[in-house]
Structure 1
Amino acid sequence: MGRPENNVDQTVPARAELAQYLRERRRAAGLTYSQMSEAVGGRISKATFERAASGSTVPSWDTVEWFLIVARVRKDLFGGMSALLHGRELWVRARRATRAPYYVHKAPDPTLVSCTAGFLRALRHQHVWAGYPTPGEMELTAGPGALPKTTTRRIIAGDTLPVDPEQAVAFLKACDVVNPAALEEWLAAAVRAVRDDPSRIKHLDRWVKAHQEMARRSRDRGIASVTPLLRAREEEGHAA
């Protein structure tokens, strides 16, 4: 397995926790860093994988994702998906710990937003809470054309609102807001913000429709998750 590794840098606990998790995954897979680099065709170097597990820096998500994909082991649930999800959570915490301003202690609550300035501030805080993804990372997450880097920079800076509901949803999903119920709350906040902005009030109907559609998706998802439980209870009642 090569020479012994240096101890994990404990300067930032959240960063150290991510590094320790990566080391545990590599050891469980029985791989060296050189073998891991070879497994990805040299796309990520041995030195980059080593640095990712050092605790001295927060690696890019691309590096962490490939690290966990290569180091997956047979006992992983869902082909390694559980390891990726946990790794993502640790990575976000590490980014948040090293990049977030001192005054952002929790995720923003969109239900408290009542105006344009409040919505812009909430979007910025959500971006921080998601670990400060770069505009380039967010563009890749959203897909081609959905979230241009230049527009993303302006939203992050608080200079402009998303141009339409689709862009708002793309921004939020790139900041780890993916649950329809949560997106419904954010779109409701956007409707209030647009009402507060004379330059955008003419587009209000579009935002209202987007909110209504997301509310429908949220309800449908809730019904889908509750129905099996209700069916099971009914079957128990008939059996009794």
Structure 2
Amino acid sequence: MARPEAPVDRTVLARAELADFLRARRATAGMTYRQMSDLMFGMPSKTTFERAASGASVPVLETVEAYVQLTVTKEEEFNGSTDAAMDQARKLWIKARRATRAPYYLHKAPDPALISNRADFSRALRDQHVWAGCPSPGEMSQMSGPGMLPKTTAHRIIAGRTLPVTPTQAIAFLKACYVQAPEALEWLAAAIRVFADSRDHPDWGEAHAHVQEQLAKNRDDPPARLLRAVA
């Protein structure tokens, strides 16, 4: 008979919520950790999957994603809700990372509408990085795509020593901080306010045109905050 699984470590609530989510999925799928690992040819290992659902630490995102992929049920496949399960897993993972890495004073995501100068922009990017669970420069470079955000550049932005020099680089940084498309446009509008008149950064003028184009596509219901941002 298999040894009963140890109770979830509830020292950190957000970590426990992620562990509960993962354990519930495994129970529904009726799989053992050994079976899960075997399906992945040992990578992640049985022990890694067990630790991911222990609540004692925050697993790497790849392990969480593999956990969800392996526990997709026939009902989820039939209902097309697999993406929703993966999205929930990522949100719980980010929340757990934030709970263990973010400073006590950061209670919400930064608001790009409040950015009015370069210092604001730098501080907001750094706060967004923390709000995303402090991904490493290497993780950010990988998430943003080949050549889009070098590790050294990500490190310098996180340290407050530089700012994204092009809209593409700014979007790459935000993508690596899990900022989704609607919010990314607001961030882009904030960056335009900072850089649009700078002769050193001519690409931001083109970015302004892009934002205006997006607004035109949503002319019937334009985002009010975005309209104010680029006015």
Match of 1:236? Answer: none
Instruction: State how 1:89-108 maps to structure 2 within 5 Å.
Output: 89-108=91-110
Give the 3 Å change call, closer, same or farther, for CA 218–169 of structure 1 in structure 2.
farther
Match of 2:228? Answer: none
Match of 1:10? Answer: 10
Amino acid at match of 1:192: R
1:136-168 per-residue CA deviation (whole Å, 9 max, x = no partner) reads: 221121111011111101111111001211000
Instruction: State how 1:43-54 maps to structure 2 within 5 Å.
Output: 43-54=43-54
Q: Distance in 1 between matches of 2:18 and 2:9?
A: 11
Contact 1:165 1:210 in 2 (8 A): yes
| Aligned-CA RMSD value | 2.0
Amino acid at match of 1:48: T
Higher helix share: 1
Q: Distance in 2 between matches of 1:68 and 1:220?
A: 36
1:56-78 per-residue CA deviation (whole Å, 9 max, x = no partner) reads: 00001011000100111111142
Under a length normalisation based on structure 1, what TM-score does the superposition of the two structures give?
0.85
1:93-122 per-residue CA deviation (whole Å, 9 max, x = no partner) reads: 111111001111111011111111110000
Instruction: State how 1:50-89 maps to structure 2 within 5 Å.
Output: 50-76=50-76, 77-78=79-80, 80-89=82-91
Match of 1:205? Answer: 202
Q: Secondary structure at the match of 1:67?
A: helix
Give the 3 Å change call, closer, same or farther, for CA 178–37 of structure 1 in structure 2.
same
CA drift at 1:79: 5.7
Under a length normalisation based on structure 2, what TM-score does the superposition of the two structures give?
0.89
Give the 3 Å change call, closer, same or farther, for CA 74–223 of structure 1 in structure 2.
farther
Gaps of 5+ in 1: 225-240
Contact 1:110 1:186 in 2 (8 A): yes
Match of 1:237? Answer: none
Contact 1:184 1:215 in 2 (8 A): no
Instruction: State how 1:142-181 maps to structure 2 within 5 Å.
Output: 142-179=144-181, 181=182
Q: Distance in 2 between matches of 1:49 and 1:211?
A: 46
CA drift at 1:182: 2.0
Identity level (%): 54
Q: Distance in 1 between matches of 2:150 and 2:70?
A: 31
Aligned length: 220
Q: Distance in 2 between matches of 1:17 and 1:215?
A: 41
CA drift at 1:46: 0.5
